[in-house]
Amino acid sequence: EKMTVNVTREGPISVLEIDNVKQRNALTMAVKEVLVPALREAEENPDVRCIVITGAGGTFSAGGDVSLFGDMTPAKGRQIVFDQRKFLHLMLRGDTPIIAAVEGFAYGAGFGLAMAADHVVAAENAKFCAAFNKIGLMPDGGLLWTLPQRIGMGRAKDMLMCATVIDGIQAKNLGIADRLAKPTKALDVAMERAMHFASAAPLAVATIKSAFARYPLDLEAAFAIETDAQPALMNTQDAKEARRAFFAKEKPNFKGA
């Protein structure tokens, strides 16, 4: 049987490609059953320094599996939303930086998947939409938390309440996307960005991600994280290596130790 998520490694980068083209890479139960362990495996592998998530066939993900909504009950609905939490937790609370490479549609839960990444590369003709209220639903997929932090409350209300469709260029201007790519080139640009993330000190990156996962932070909480985490980082092998490399005018070799 064909895999619904193709996993490939390129050096320190793990690429997870959602491959459910028939349903425009909708996040079906079958996809989620493979995506969660694939993410966990990449996340737990110390040799993987960056994860790139993309979709096959020129589409990122058209969202949830609408075919499931036919004979819906509150219990079933709860299970679907709860299942999504598994991969979102891995993405938002993990240690490894994640880049979403978006071509075509990032709709509904697919939009949520993209917004749970740390960095978003969008093709100019990509299409982002929180289409939930078109089927009488509220946004899920973590969007109530991730989207306002990227674009502010007012713009988030517009996108989430009106199911506004925006393209890659608008996404870049709003802050939904961090980098633009020519059509069909989102993965290439994402791989190039991934090398930047992969070359950073992994323990420092993990600490930053874990701080951001606690937002919103008040000033005292932010200072407390600095005071607790920075002395520990100062004593790592990687920090010593970075100091050595700085004075030797060399590129540091980080080991995540």
Q: Give me the average pLDDT of each 10-residue run along the chain (257 residues).
A: 87 97 92 94 96 97 80 84 89 96 96 98 97 87 95 95 96 98 98 96 95 92 95 95 95 93
Cβ atoms of residues 123 and 181 within 8 Å: yes
Residues 6 or more apart whose CB falls under 8 angstroms from that of 106 comprise 60, 61, 100, 113, 114, 122, 126, 127, 128, 129
Does the pTM surpass 0.85? The reply is yes
pLDDT at 80: 82
pLDDT at 77: 83
pLDDT at 123: 98
Looking from the CA of 74 toward its CB, the CA atoms found within 13 Å total: 0
Cβ atoms of residues 141 and 109 within 8 Å: yes
The residues with which 167 forms a beta bridge, in sequence order, are 127
Angle at the Cα of 165 (from 139 to 184), degrees rounded to 5? 110
- Quick one: how far is CA 134 from the chain centroid? 24
Cβ atoms within 10 Å, residue 76: 12
> How far is the C-alpha of 183 from the C-alpha of 193, rounded, in Å?
17
> How far is the C-alpha of 213 from the C-alpha of 208, rounded, in Å?
9
